[in-house]
Amino acid sequence: MISEMLHRASRLRGNPRIRILWRMIGTKRGSVAILRATIPGLLYSSERRILFSQMKVFTRGLPGRLQAPLPETLELLISDDIPDHPNYQTEATIRNLADLAVLLDDEPGLGYCLRSSLTRFYFLRRAGVPVIIHFGARHMGKEHVGLLDGHAWLTLGGKPYHEIHESLDSFAVMLSFPQHEANTAA
């Protein structure tokens, strides 16, 4: 159904990028749901296309931004909270577009959750959604003694933001940002 919709949209709009997009993310986890939530809006809304372009640029620039210590990088991101112009997209639209931008950017060395959490964090905070970003670690298990697994996620109002809560219970929080907001939400 999605494939047919994309094929029709690409023919109607004369845009071969849609077919390429489908091939790029057709096999990745959760891609059909993300496509269903984002493609129709991207086809017909120039504001969403502009926001999506900004997200792609942001995501591609993450490796460079993360050369600085993480707290320093986060301070710079949060100092950018005030948008140049108001963004009238809904919270769900921003989240879905951020997920699509991250899905299309396969930067080696940076995990999906890190890229997704940082992208969501930056754009949701700019839209006035007071999400908090967390970074955690856990032991990988008996068969991998001494190895740690890391994870990044967001919370809103002290609750996991579009994340399975049970999967977070095994992570020890190493850093939350902004710390003063994390303390009041706890």
Instruction: Identify whether 29 is part of a domain.
Output: no
- In the chain, the number of structural domains is 1
Instruction: Identify whether 22 is part of a domain.
Output: no
pTM: 0.76
Compute the Cα dihedral for 162, 165, 166, 171 and give only its sign: positive
> pLDDT by residue (tens digit) across 94-112?
998 998 888 887 666 788 8
Instruction: Identify whether 27 is part of a domain.
Output: no
Domain that holds residue 126: 45-185
Burial (CB count within 10 angstroms: exposed 0-12, middle 13-18, buried 19+), residue 43: middle
How far apart (Å, rounded) are the C-alpha atoms in residues 51 and 89? 9
Higher pLDDT, residue 33 or 19: 33
Instruction: Identify whether 40 is part of a domain.
Output: no
Instruction: Identify whether 80 is part of a domain.
Output: yes
